[in-house]
Structure 1
Amino acid sequence: MENLESENTPNPRNPKKPKVVIVMGATGAGKSKLAIDLASYFPIEIINADSMQVYKGLDVLTNKVPLEEQKGVPHHLMGIISPNVEFTSKDFRDSAIQIIDDIISRNRLPVIVGGTNYYIQALVSPFLFDDLIEEMDDCCLKESIGDKELEYKFASGNDNCNVDYQRLKEIDPDAANRIHPNDFRKINQYLGLYARSGLLPSKLFQGQKWGRTDNFKYDCCFVCVDASLHVLDHYVEERVDCMINAGLLHEVYDIYSLNADYTRGLRQAIGVREFEDFLGFYLDKDYNADTERIILSTEDKMSKENLKALLESDNIPHKDLLMESINRLKANTKRLVRRQKRMLNRLQALFGWDLHYVDSTESLLGNSYDSWPRQVVEPSVDLIRSFLHEDNCTVPTKIPNAVASQILDKRDLWTQHVCEPCGNRILRGAYEWEQHKKGRGHRKRMLSLKKSKQYLVDKEAEAVT
């Protein structure tokens, strides 16, 4: 096993950034498995960077690594946060920094593992939105525009999120175009930032180096576990079926609550809201508006032990709703995979992140026994050894630095594009728009649209003749 005493020990005469390894990738690609396997080669400790796995509960649904499969490797920030608390990227950053410092002080290697890319961005980048708000709370700008700030604090407390979003749209259309109209937290943050500083959030953020590699807090080695999309899709479907057998239905049964808030805490996890319609129908209930409690019928109440049996039962209404929920969970997980892949491409193309890819496709297919160690573990170990003993990783990136610099200079993260042929889908920034236009779905819709227009032209010509 590698000795890290010389590689990651601070030297006052030659200060260097602390070295950390970051394992990234889409859901199901094998990030956690790789991180645990690395412990056979390096004295590592794992820091979880999955925004749902940090919470207590839903161990099956959030795919937490069971204790017996952790192989004695220390895991931090795993299942420790109350499920009703909002654990922000700033909370993660502040917690992870302390853990990293402690791990390094014991001559061990921190390995950050997870698919929540904005957690990782917050950790390695010096600029964070919440920090800016706090700094402005302490400055004199707050006093000089106190009346204006109170006005926006009052407005942002309004229950109607649409009102605040429209206000933001009037103040800063570019910033409003970058966020979802129901993202009340970010809407309030943007309004608060404008109230405190008088600066437009879009103008302020465009001048920042947030996410840029030249401003990283740590010396990072990024290992990205990747697999072909169709293989990941198949694996996701199989994994959801395994989760059903492992007790997923019991977990969503226990967390179910009428009129629950799905924008905070653990209930944001994919797989909770998907079962809401089914559980609402499955539980024969009355609702007491005064106590906000569900009153279950004693005669027709079905215990959660019967949930899985519904899949084999003749109870058509319940069975159909349950299958719809399971299929919705599979579909939304596949969408998450695509979002994560797009985000990794953006981090590399727009921010210049030096991502080193290892391919787990063969391993997920199960074509050969040695595909995982040969194609995933061994290349990752070689990469990390190079990283620890040299100033720079020797494995080349997919995008040359010169090309990446040109892209960074020309990046456009704020302009909103609307694609009418794709159902008025909103794309944010020039990069997303260009990637969308190259996509297979968009090209098929454009071809179909052109054919339909030509068909109408031909019909009109026939009618005239």
Structure 2
Amino acid sequence: MMNFSMSLWPQTSRMLDIPPGVIKMDMLCPRSWQKEKVVIVMGPTGTGKSRLSIDLATQFPAEIINSDKMQVYKGLDIVTNKVGEEEKSGLPHHLLGIANPNVDFTAANYCQMASSAVESISSRGLLPIIAGGSNSYIEALMDDEDFRLRLRYDCCFLWIDVSMPVLHKFVSRRVEQMVSMGMINEVRNLFDPRADYSTGIRRSIGVPEFDRYFRAEDFLDEENRARLLHEAICDVKRNTCKLACRQWEKINRLRKIKGWNIHRVDATEVFRSSGKEAEHAWEMLVARPSTAIVGQFLGGVSAADKVPALATMGYIRQCLVA
């Protein structure tokens, strides 16, 4: 993927009818290219942000930057719902599972590393796609005191929205799936009776809820052990639903109070469906509309047509640096 922009240059130069070896800045750097482009995928937990970011990155030459404050840590892949290698479709993901799980990774840490990732991706003629549920990270990155990212980049915000009652049912089912995948043993391996649940990855929903169970399980009979485990799982479901509500409220505040231009994509019908119907609904109600929005944001052309344009931008930068 790193060589993508250079390989497309001959085709692009023919398309633009530019004589070989001649670079005319008024032709190659029109006004619309003076600011780089960044896409940000937002939404409450469980709404499919990772999936949409991958869908978009398969349509446009892009790389993905994680903005989930728990997925940034190493470990607890089930609890934090990290995207699997197979799901990544070979696409590079940045800031995913890179931080020490025992040390706080702050918003300032995130801004520094995410800014570097955006610059690296963009410098290679690719589209940075930031995706994740931690709106405090995104807000800190976008609205820092100097507005450094906003001054350099045009930003397109996509919000995957799902009706809360529908999302709460889905989240509860997802927690049950996580349990069947081995979440309890994953958390047990991290359990330490002296642990601080306000630091690092132990802040993740799905970790502190099991503390009482792990402390007591060896001293309980089967019935009381099962009861305590059930209570812990219910706490995980309840706290995840509360998180989804807070995330929804934060996005709404960014849109209404701070005036962010956020494109809302309603995915409720996707989560009301199942099987092939859900897949079709995702394609028609989420993937296609989002792809159209991003295509328009990148210059009003289709995903296929945008590939050489982005490649040309990468070529220009390399020439200017040389």
Question: TM-score when scaled to structure 1?
Answer: 0.56
Say if 1:275 and 1:373 are closer, same or farther in 2 by CA, change over 3 A.
Answer: same
Q: Per-residue displacement from partner, 1:139-183 (whole Å, max 9, x unpaired)? A: xxxxxxxxxxxxxxxxxxxxxxxxxxxxxxxxxxxxxxxxxxxxx
Cα shift at 1:216? 5.3
Alignment partners' CA distance in 1, 2:225 and 2:194: 20
SS in 1 for 2:59: coil
Query: 270, 278, 286: which one pairs with 1:376?
Result: 286
Contact kept? 1:126, 1:216, Cα under 8 Å: no
Deviation at 1:218, TM superposition (A): 2.6
Report the equivalent of 1:158: none
Aligned residues: 275
Q: 2:245 aligns with which of 338, 342, 356?
A: 338
Pairing 1:348–2:283 present: no
**SS of residue in 1 equivalent to 2:128:** strand
The secondary structure found in structure 2 opposite 1:69 is coil
CA distances 1:328-369 after superposition (whole Å, capped 9, x unpaired) = 000000000000000011001110011101121121222524
Q: 1:260 aligns with which of 182, 185, 195?
A: 195
Equivalent residue number for residue 280 of structure 1: 215
The answer as to 2:10 corresponding to 1:75 is no
Shift in Å, 1:382: 0.5
Counterpart of 2:173 (choices 223, 238, 242) is 238
Alignment-derived partner of residue 318 in structure 2: none
Cross-structure match for 1:91: 109
Equivalent residue number for residue 328 of structure 1: 235
1:223 aligns with 2:127: no
Of 258, 271, 274, which residue of structure 2 is paired with 1:364? 271
Pick aligned residue for 1:113 from 101, 107, 131: 131
Structure 1 Cα separation of the partners of residues 49 and 113 of structure 2: 21
From the superposition, tell whether residues 12 and 94 of structure 1 become closer, same or farther in structure 2 (CA, over 3 Å). Answer: farther
- Is 1:38 the equivalent of 2:61? no
Cα 1:11/1:84, change in 2 over 3 Å = farther
Q: How does 1:59-458 map to 2 (within 5 A)?
A: 59-127=77-145, 218-283=153-218, 315-366=222-273, 368=277, 369-389=279-299
Instruction: Report if aligned partners of 2:68, 2:134 keep a CA contact under 8 Å in 1.
Output: yes
**Secondary structure in structure 2 of the residue aligned to 1:39:** helix
Aligned to 2:44: 26
Name the aligned partner's letter for residue 357 of structure 1: R
Indicate conservation of the 8 Å contact 1:124/1:217, yes or no.
no
Which residues in structure 2 correspond to 1:7-22 (within 5 Å)? 16-22=34-40
8 Å CA contact 1:124, 1:216 repeated in 2:
no
Contact 2:32–2:299 under 8 Å retained in 1: no
- 1:126 Cα deviation after fit: 2.9
SS at match of 1:67: coil
Aligned twin of 1:167: none
Question: Which structure ranks higher in relative contact order (CA pairs < 8 Å, sequence separation ≥ 6)?
Answer: 2
CA-CA distance at 1:99 after TM superposition: 0.9
Aligned-pair RMSD on alpha carbons?
2.5
Q: Over residues 418-462 of structure 1, what are the superposed CA-to-partner deviations in whole Å (9 max), with x where a residue is unaligned? A: xxxxxxxxxxxxxxxxxxxxxxxxxxxxxxxxxxxxxxxxxxxxx
Contact 1:125 1:217 in 2 (8 A): no
Question: Counterparts of 1:236 and 1:14 in 2: how far apart (Å)?
Answer: 41
Q: CA deviation at 1:255?
A: 1.0
1:39 Cα shift?
2.2
Report deviation, 1:12. Answer: 10
Residue deviations 1:187-223 (CA, integer Å, cap 9, x gap): xxxxxxxxxxxxxxxxxxxxxxx79x9x655311001
Q: Distance in 1 between matches of 2:218 and 2:136?
A: 37
Q: Shift of the alpha carbon at 1:11?
A: 5.1
Alpha carbons of structure 1 residues 216 and 233: separation in structure 2 relative to 1, 3 Å: farther
Where 1:255 maps in the other structure, the secondary structure is: coil
What residue ranges of structure 1 are gaps of 5+ in the alignment?
129-209, 285-299, 301-313, 391-465
The residue that corresponds to 1:398 in the other structure is none
Q: Contact (CA 8 Å) 1:30, 1:360: kept in 2 or not?
A: no
User: Structure 1 CA distance, aligned partners of 2:239 and 2:152?
Assistant: 34
Structure 1 consecutive aligned stretches of length 4 or more whose deviation exceeds 4 Å:
2-6, 10-15
Q: Cα distance 1:322–1:217, how it changes in 2: closer, same or farther (>3 A)?
A: farther
1:37 CA drift (Å): 1.0
Looking at structure 2, the residues matched to 380 and 355 of structure 1 have their Cα atoms a distance apart, in angstroms, of: 12
Structure 2 counterpart SS, 1:389? coil
- AA of the residue aligned to 1:98: S
Contact 2:57–2:64, Cα closer than 8 Å, also in 1:
no
Secondary structure at the aligned position of 1:107 is classed as coil
Provide the secondary structure at the position in 1 that maps to 2:260. Answer: coil
* Distance verdict in 2 for CA 1:244–1:108, change over 3 Å: same
Change (3 A) 1:320 1:108: same
Shift in Å, 1:269: 0.5
| 1:34 aligned partner, one-letter code | L
Percent same amino acid among aligned pairs?
44
| CA contact 2:41–2:131 (8 Å) conserved in 1 | yes
Alpha carbons of structure 1 residues 364 and 104: separation in structure 2 relative to 1, 3 Å: same
Tell me how far apart the structure 2 counterparts of residues 83 and 384 of structure 1 sit (CA, whole Å).
34
The code of the aligned residue for 2:290 comes to S
Structure 1 position 370, deviation (Å): 1.2
* Greater Cα radius of gyration, structure 1 or 2: 1
